[in-house]
Chain A
Amino acid sequence: MTAANGKHRFAMYWAASCGGCDIAVLNLHEAILDFAERFDIVFWPAVMDAKYRDVEAMPDGSIDLTLVSGSIRNAENAEIVRLLRRKSAILVAFGSCATEGCIPGLANLGTTAGLLDVVFDGPGTDNPDHLRPASRVAVPEGELHLPAMEPLVRTLDQVVEVDYRMPGCPPESERIAEVVGLLTAALDGKAGLPPRGSVVGAGHSTVCDECQRDRSAKRISEFRRIQQLPALDPGLCLLEQGLPCNGSATRDGCGAKCPLAGAPCIGCYGPADGVVEFGARLLSAFASVVDASEPEEIDRILDGLPDPVGQFYRFSLAGSLLRGARAARTATATRESAP
């Protein structure tokens, strides 16, 4: 539904997110002006004041385009994304947090309690009574309410249905421009919408496709960190130089900025189409080209990857099979077998 002024209604919300995605949108520079031309910004906590009740007041489906960044960490996140889902025609999971869980998702490696201990009793925290945030706290003035933390960090699509996914930490501004352009065109009826559920603002292959470095058949006899390299070969594939570069399994679209700059890809654009488990693809690829046949030798080489989970699951843990909410559900599902 389009506003009287002919503009489309736009919303953007940050759940558990660093705000980088919002900045990436603002990074459209001049283009943001055209954007303002085409859209009425009805809700965007990062850039303008807004009240949830205003959103609640809107008719369902009245927001044409909503971008949600951030993963679902607490009750508020969950509540608001459900609200926005109701109010929005098109809901885009925007950026790595929303699509895969990203850094906040790493919290799923531990327990909520453990997490709180680190924050509220960790070094440099003076908390003699070992207080913890609680969703309801009685104070003289009355009862205070705080959004409760959820037991697991979840990706947006684990909570509400998502129309499109746009990967990246954050998504590249050029891609944002493309996507906004594309969707605007569609909203204007000048173009068709991309198939629902598809990934937008990214390619269909992997970063290697965009990376210009020279590659040959791979055999890795040692994993090293960049500072351990005598000298970085400017032209040669980073993985072949022993740097654990995630480019081979990471969806393209970023323009391979990191590897081309000599920094190994960390995988923020997530897996390519149809991949079951991002981490599995990475570890399988790395292991396959380890240049050793004897267990001892293999171990020696693998010791070069001190934190495999960090290497392979940095962005995708919350969406992963073993540490994702989906896994938890599947695991419990298989138990519903009482005679």
Chain B
Amino acid sequence: MADPMRIRAQALNGNVVVKVLMQHEMETGQRKDANGKTIPAWHITDVSASLNGTPVFSAQWGPAVSKNPFLQFTIKGGKAGDKVSVQWVDNLGNKRVDEATVV
């Protein structure tokens, strides 16, 4: 199973700034290993987030997002104590959901 994300959600000027680090190889499918064999693509394809259970954000990614991806976005409204949850899905069907409390 994939390792947990690191999510920081901070109330700022009536908004919530969310910063996420995800642990993922983000293998492009273009690289070859030492024996010349292509390393198969393995990367996050979809990211989504919700505030207190209501979907607020979604994104679609290709393999050129960097390894161990970083993402920052800003939710309008929201306050300290709210719950932000972030989910990713990769091209192999792996999934990870983590939640953070807005500070």
Is B a genuine binding partner of A?
no
